[in-house]
A = this chain, B = another copy of it.
Amino acid sequence: MKIAMIGLGRMGGNMARRLMEGGHEIVAFDRDADAVAKIVADGAEGAASLDEARGKLGSPAIWWVMLPAGAITEQTIGTIADAAQPGDIVIDGGNSFYKDDIRRAKALAEKQLHYVDVGTSGGVWGRERGYCMMIGGDNETIAHLDPIFETLAPGTGDIVRTPGRIADKVDQRAEKGYIHAGPAGSGHFVKMIHNGIEYGLMQAYAEGFDILKTKSSEILPEDERFDLNLTDIAEVWRRGSVISSWLLDLTAIALAKDEKLDQFSGHVADSGEGQWTIDAAMEEKVPANVLTASLFARYRSRVEHTYGDKVLSAMRFGFGGHVEMPQ
């Protein structure tokens, strides 16, 4: 199929290349002309504007927007809506908030445009391993796009089939690595929860390794310490343990390179999905202590001291005359 890829950053560029390798054609657009030139050299058609891109696409045109969530995505989809023709399909493959998808799908439907939201996981490894995709939109449009999703997805590969999945009940897409989650917005909703879980998993490992690391530190009296090899611990847990996972594989790689992790500042960023997941939990009245604590640990990592800490010290001084000193 022929797809316009709008946004040629790490994610968009890699996906475009995986699509071309899978036999699809790419019309490439990016504000950065160099990025366009590079992928043209790899076999894509370039476009200097969205209008030009439209001219190079058939009908219905497929627009895959792969840009940072927020203003830039919002604005670009607006411009595409102007350049598009009735029946065209607009895909937001970024990390948009699912309520924005619902709103956009309605707005585009008035122009007879189909809106599809695709939440994508796999990071920089997706180009080679394939992308896990969670997709929202109407049935017909998703069915039309199946060849694209099949190319982008990992495919069944050598991952063991889940026992108990019954053939005729199976949504085969799931086993290939993508799902049609429901109407517009549902793709990004599922991806949002995916990222919320991701934060929780990461923090669980982080706390565990922190306790292991500190066990060998001078925080403890010498006779209470163990001199643990965290690199080997991460490695052995990959092999037969209950907590083996891809995130653990990545941890093992990082520790094998430098167990002290000195290249990392300790400031940890968060994107919107973690926060939105907590919003969803609160809308649904679902307790989510772990996902929330994981998000807050990242906030805390980015400030030296909180005003709240000073309030604590001020109270302690108030009742006990304690003056808190740096330690």
Q: When the two chains form the complex, which single residue of B163, B232, B282, B294 contacts A253, counting CB atoms closer than 8 Å?
A: B163
Q: Which residues of B contact A294 (CB under 8 A)?
A: 204, 290
Residues of B within 8 A of A196 (CB): 207-208, 211
State whether B314 touches A299 (Cβ < 8 A). Answer: no
Contact of A240 (CB < 8 Å), options: B129, B197, B240: B129
Q: Is the contact region of chain A dominated by helix, strand, or loop, or is it mixed?
A: helix
With contacts A197-B243, A240-B129, A286-B299 known, is A123 near B211, CB below 8 A?
no
Q: Which residues of B are found within 8 Å of A228, using beta-carbon distances? A: 181-182, 186, 189-190
Which residues of chain B are near A179, meaning CB under 8 Å? 229, 232-233, 235-236
Q: Does A200 contact B (CB under 8 A)?
A: yes
Do the beta carbons of A267 and B326 come within 8 Å of each other?
yes
Check A233 against B134 for contact (C-beta < 8 Å). yes
Copies, count: 4
Whether B246 contacts A325 by the Cβ 8 Å rule is no
Which residues from B are CB-within-8-Å of A133?
Answer: 236
| Distance between A11 CB and nearest chain B CB, rounded to angstroms | 9
Chain B residue at minimum C-beta to C-beta distance from A292: B292
What's the least CB distance linking A129 to chain B, in Å? 5
14 contacts across the A-B interface (CB closer than 8 A): A162-B256, A186-B228, A189-B228, A194-B241, A200-B200, A203-B290, A207-B286, A210-B288, A211-B284, A220-B284, A250-B319, A254-B318, A269-B316, A287-B299
Let me know if B178 and A236 touch, CB within 8 A: yes
From the candidates B178, B233, B289, name the one contacting A296 in the complex (CB within 8 A).
Answer: B289
Report A294-326 residues with CB < 8 Å from chain B CB. Answer: 294-302, 304-326
> In the docked arrangement, what's the CA distance between A281 and B280, Å?
15
Q: Which residue in chain B gives the minimum CB-CB distance to A279?
A: B279
The 8 A CB mask of A235-277 against B (1 = contact, 0 = none) is 1111111111111111111111100010111111100000101
| A248 vs B280: C-alpha distance when bound (angstroms) | 22
Contact A201 B204, beta carbon cutoff 8 Å: yes
A110 adjacent to chain B (CB < 8 Å): no
Q: Could you tell me if A122 and B300 are in contact, using CB atoms closer than 8 angstroms?
A: no
Least distance between A318 CB and chain B CB atoms (Å): 3
| Bound CA span A326–B316, Å | 31
Contact B189 A215 (CB under 8 A): yes
Contact flag A215-B121 (CB < 8 Å), given A132-B240, A197-B205: no
In this complex, the member of A179, A197, A278 whose beta carbon has the largest number of chain B beta carbons within 10 angstroms is A197
Are the CB atoms of B304 and A304 closer together than 8 Å?
yes
Are A219's CB and B284's CB within 8 A? yes
Cβ of A160 to closest chain B Cβ, rounded Å: 8
- Neighbouring B residues of A171 by C-beta, 8 Å: 229, 232, 235
A252 CB contacts on chain B under 8 angstroms: 162
**The residue from B163, B215, B237, B256 contacting A256, defined by CB atoms under 8 A apart:** B163
Decide yes or no whether A327 CB sits under 8 A from chain B.
yes
Chain A 175-205 against B: per-residue CB contact (8 Å), 1 yes, 0 no?
1111101110110011001101111111111
> Is B238 within 8 A of A316, CB to CB?
no
Tell me, yes or no, whether A227 is within 8 Å of chain B by CB.
Answer: yes
- With A121-B242, A226-B183 already in contact, the answer to whether A314 and B165 are too (CB < 8 A) is no
